[in-house]
Amino acid sequence: MTNSTLKKFLVLYIVPGHVMGEWAKTDPETRKSTEQKLRADWDRWMGDHSKMVTLTEAAGKTKGVSASGIADTKNDIILYSIAQAASHEEVAKAFANHPHLTLPQSSIQVTEVRSMDGPG
């Protein structure tokens, strides 16, 4: 299947803010060794799925924009990826064993991205 026939997906890595706050309070040595293992597992998973995942970047501070204006806000998105595959199910199944899911209360959301030019 060529890249032009693959569908595109937005993958959101979610961890509740209070979980991240508690993690920041963890003993530095414990945190370091756990993060090193997670990073190694993550790198291995990403290497195994490098043809599917075309981009991964960290999410930063969030601004909420509404008819009332712009304000600082928070969400639970810590990273995002762009993935390409033949189907939504294929991407969801690939991420079902992602190391991110070892974090307490974590989840991954996979959303199909479609052109606004018409049906696709």
Domain boundaries, the chain: 3-113
- What pLDDT, on the 0 to 100 scale, is given for residue 102? 93
Residue 107 structure tokens: 């989840």
Q: For residue 99, how many C-alpha atoms fall within 13 Å in the half-sphere facing its CB?
A: 16
- What pLDDT, on the 0 to 100 scale, is given for residue 116? 86
- What pLDDT, on the 0 to 100 scale, is given for residue 109? 98
- What pLDDT, on the 0 to 100 scale, is given for residue 5? 86
Please provide the DSSP assignment of 40-104 as one string.
Answer: HHHHHHHHHTTTTEEEEEE---EEEEETTEEEEE--SEEEEEEEEES-HHHHHHHHTT-GGGGST
Q: How far apart, in whole angstroms, are the C-alpha atoms of residue 87 and residue 108?
A: 16
Q: Are 86 and 1 a contacting pair, CB within 8 Å?
A: yes
Q: Under CATH, to which class is 3-113 assigned?
A: alpha beta
**At CA 108, angle to CA 70 and CA 3, rounded to 5?**
95
Give the position of tokens 């993060």: 35
- What pLDDT, on the 0 to 100 scale, is given for residue 1? 56
- What pLDDT, on the 0 to 100 scale, is given for residue 78? 95
Q: How far apart, in whole angstroms, are the C-alpha atoms of residue 48 and residue 42?
A: 10
Mean pLDDT by 10 residues, the chain (120 residues): 82 94 90 94 96 96 97 96 97 97 96 81
